[in-house]
A and B are shown apart, each in its own frame.
Chain A
Amino acid sequence: GAGVSQSPSNKVTEKGKDVELRCDPISGHTALYWYRQSLGQGLEFLIYFQGNSAPDKSGLPSDRFSAERTGGSVSTLTIQRTQQEDSAVYLCASSFGTATEAFFGQGTRLTVV
């Protein structure tokens, strides 16, 4: 596609359930970022993939959060045993190489009830 695509756009889940959020980056982009944004707050870094390098997981808030990027393209962010504080908009961005423009998806709004 022409831009970064995220799915689903909205997800409501019950506390304790697992969820998977998907990000389709722009074709050819080697860098992929996951961020989350709580209501009225700034962007919080979660994880960063760059080419074949080991991902930078320094922003993952707990071991309930994990992400993978298969074949250097699509990425999935998994949250296990969701908690209410996980409710936020999860944004994905991709860029081509380094020092270039990063494009964001529209985000997945996760609500844990």
Chain B
Amino acid sequence: KNQVEQSPQSLIILEGKNCTLQCNYTVSPFSNLRWYKQDTGRGPVSLTIMTFSENTKSNGRYTATLDADTKQSSLHITASQLSDSASYICVVSAQAAGNKLTFGGGTRVLVKP
């Protein structure tokens, strides 16, 4: 069964600090991995999308890494801001089943001043 596991479930960090979120997946055959940010009451918004051949991709203060061998990804937030408070969702797409997206449960990040 295709699964996506995220950790931690939640974390609290001080403004200006860095943090790293983890994503492990069993989706196979792998097509791509995406990180989304979901603000409270809003739909998810894409941060990065990576294919098998990509190891790292940045979007401003967000940097995602991918190790397709170990089926792990991370999202690093640098110099956190209050606006980074949100849920971060790891989404993996399989080549089979028409590239249906499998969602992780998300990591809820709270940035405190």
Residues of A whose CB lies within 8 Å of any CB of B are: 4, 31, 33, 35, 41-43, 45, 48, 50, 53, 56, 91, 93, 98-99, 101-107
Contact = CB atoms under 8 A, between A and B. Distances in A.
Contacts, number: 59
Contacts of A56: 97-98, 100
Given A98-B98, A98-B99, A99-B51, A42 B105 contact: yes
B43 A104 contact: yes
A50 B98 contact: yes
16 contacts: A33-B100, A42-B89, A43-B89, A48-B100, A53-B98, A91-B44, A93-B43, A93-B44, A93-B101, A99-B51, A101-B34, A102-B34, A104-B45, A105-B43, A107-B42, A107-B43
Interface residues of B, number: 24
Mostly helix, strand, loop or mixed at chain B's interface?
Answer: strand
Contact of A101 (B46, B100, B104, B105): B46
Interface string B72-98: 000000000000000001010100011
Contacts of A102: 34, 46, 91, 101
Mostly helix, strand, loop or mixed at chain A's interface?
Answer: strand
B98 A101 contact: no
